[in-house]
């Protein structure tokens, strides 16, 4: 079966909205500042955006705080530079939820089963916020990264849409922001904005697979944070 081109679908929708003269509301779940540079650059003309930083996967707490601040700083600078009015909201930092959901999946490789659970947690929360705020659409910056499973992200969005109880609920916006050099552009934009860039995906498992022994990042220390 031919693979869907999610980014082309998104571009088509944006063209259609421009023809209709509509600028719908959109909740963007952001995994980090650097990835979200390309996402806002692509979407802000077509949608009235609220960015949600909900990432209970990130450890330890001080790393979470750094990434959250980078996100808030980026949005302020982006609004300033482009005269946009992107809103920012921080979700709850609840690492216990991440640990419970990914129990037994610590040895999974990146892009594997644990990551799918991690995407789903964050998309569920994005949908919840989008519905509470009355947004027409919601999406995520996760598809900028070549280290994420884009097919899984978009499939999970479809599954959440299928579970929706009413047609007035926010609809998932498919994407593949890494297309057409999207990832490279996000790296360049992040440099331009002087954003903090992390060197591991986020969870303790990605930290240890990158840097070896758990060291100070033991699960006990993390849960105290
Ligand atoms: S590697 Fe990244 S996407 Fe996968 S579970 Fe860890 S934080 Fe989530």
Instruction: Tell me how far apart the alpha carbons of residues 8 and 177 are, in angstroms, rounded to a whole number.
Output: 10
DSSP E strand boundaries for 63-186? 87-90, 137-140, 171-172
User: Is residue 1 in some structural domain?
Assistant: no
Residue 139 has which token pair? 């999406």
For residue 13, is it within any domain? no
Domain count along the chain: 1
Is residue 180 situated within a structural domain?
yes
Ligand 1 near 118 CB (within 6 A)? yes
pLDDT at 28: 98
145 lines ligand 1 (CB under 6 A): no
Find all residues with CB under 8 Å of 193, minimum gap 6, and list them: 33, 37, 74, 77, 78
Q: Please say if the pLDDT value at position 222 is more than 90.
A: no
Is 126 a member of any domain?
yes
Return the pLDDT at 211. Answer: 86
Q: Give the angle 192-153-47 at the CA atoms, nearest 5°.
A: 55
Ligand 1 in reach of 204 Cβ (< 6 A): no
Q: What is the pLDDT of residues 24-58, one digit of tens each?
A: 999 999 999 999 999 999 999 999 999 999 999 99
Q: What is the CATH number of the domain that holds 54?
A: 3.40.50.620
Record the pTM: 0.92
Whether 114 is in a domain gets the answer yes
What is the predicted pLDDT for the residue at 223?
43
**Separation between Cα atoms, residue 130 and residue 139, nearest integer Å:** 9
Mutation to probe ligand 1, out of 115, 142, 144 (largest number of atoms < 8 A from CB): 115
Handedness of CA 108, 112, 116, 122 (dihedral sign): positive
Q: Among 58, 203, 204, name the best residue to mutate to test ligand 1's pocket (greatest count of ligand atoms within 8 A of Cβ).
A: 203
Does the C-beta of 202 come closer than 6 Å to ligand 1? Answer: yes
- What are the strands, taking DSSP E only, across 108-189? 137-140, 171-172
Residue with CA closest to ligand 1 atom 2: 201
Q: Which atom of ligand 1 is nearest to the CA of 118?
A: 8
In this predicted model, what pLDDT tens digit does every residue of 49-89 receive, in sequence order? Answer: 999 999 999 999 999 999 999 999 999 999 999 999 999 99
Amino acid 191: pLDDT: 97
Q: Which residue has the tokens 């022994």?
A: 213
Percent of the chain scoring above 70 in pLDDT = 94
CA distances to 65, 128, 147 from 124, in Å = 22, 6, 21
Widest distance between CA atoms in the chain? 56
Q: Which helix (H) or strand (E) holds 67?
A: helix 61-82
Tokens of 207: 């930290």
- What is the predicted pLDDT for the residue at 212? 80
Task: Tell whether 166 is covered by a domain.
Answer: yes
Q: Averaged over 170-188, what is the pLDDT?
A: 97
Band of the pLDDT at 215, cuts 50, 70, 90?
Answer: very low
Confidence of residue 22 (pLDDT cuts 50, 70, 90): very high
Is the minimum distance from the CB of 123 to ligand 1 under 6 angstroms? Answer: no
The rounded Å distance from CA 203 to ligand 1 centre is: 6
Tell which atom from ligand 1 comes closest to the C-alpha of 115: 4
- Whole-number mean pLDDT of the chain? 93
Cβ-based neighbours of 220, under 8 Å, separated by 6 or more: none
Q: What is the mean pLDDT of residues 92-97?
A: 97
Per residue in 136-148, pLDDT tens?
Answer: 999 999 999 999 9
- What mean pLDDT do residues 178-182 have? 96
- Residue 225 pLDDT > 80, yes or no? no
pLDDT at 107 over 60: yes
For 189, the domain range is: 18-224
Q: 102-108 — which CB contacts under 8 Å span 24+ positions?
A: 102/203, 102/205, 106/205, 107/205, 108/205
Residue 8 lies in a domain: no
Closest residue by CA, ligand 1 atom 5: 115
Residue 132: inside a domain: yes
Q: What DSSP string describes 3-33?
A: PP-HHHHHHHHHHHHHHHT---EEEEE-S-H
């Amino acid at each position: 079966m031919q693979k869907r081109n999610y980014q082309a679908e998104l571009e088509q929708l944006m063209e259609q909205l421009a023809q209709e003269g509509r600028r719908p509301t959109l909740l963007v779940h952001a995994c980090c500042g650097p990835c979200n540079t390309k996402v806002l650059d692509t979407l802000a003309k077509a949608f009235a955006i609220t960015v949600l930083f909900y990432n209970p996967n990130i450890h330890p707490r001080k790393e979470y705080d750094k990434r959250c601040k980078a996100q808030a700083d980026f949005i302020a600078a982006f609004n300033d530079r482009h005269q946009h009015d992107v809103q920012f909201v921080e979700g709850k930092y609840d690492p216990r939820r991440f640990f419970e959901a990914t129990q037994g999946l610590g040895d999974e490789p990146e892009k594997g089963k644990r990551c799918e659970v991690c995407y789903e947690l964050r998309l569920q929360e994005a949908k919840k916020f989008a519905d509470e705020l009355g947004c027409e659409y919601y999406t995520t910056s996760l598809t900028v990264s070549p280290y994420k499973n884009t097919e899984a992200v978009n499939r999970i969005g479809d599954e959440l849409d299928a579970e929706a109880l009413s047609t007035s609920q926010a609809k998932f916006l498919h994407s593949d922001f890494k297309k057409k050099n999207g990832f490279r552009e996000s790296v360049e934009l992040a440099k331009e904005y002087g954003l903090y860039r992390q060197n591991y995906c986020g969870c303790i498992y990605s930290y240890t697979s990158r840097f070896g022994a758990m060291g100070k990042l033991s699960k006990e220390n993390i849960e105290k944070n």
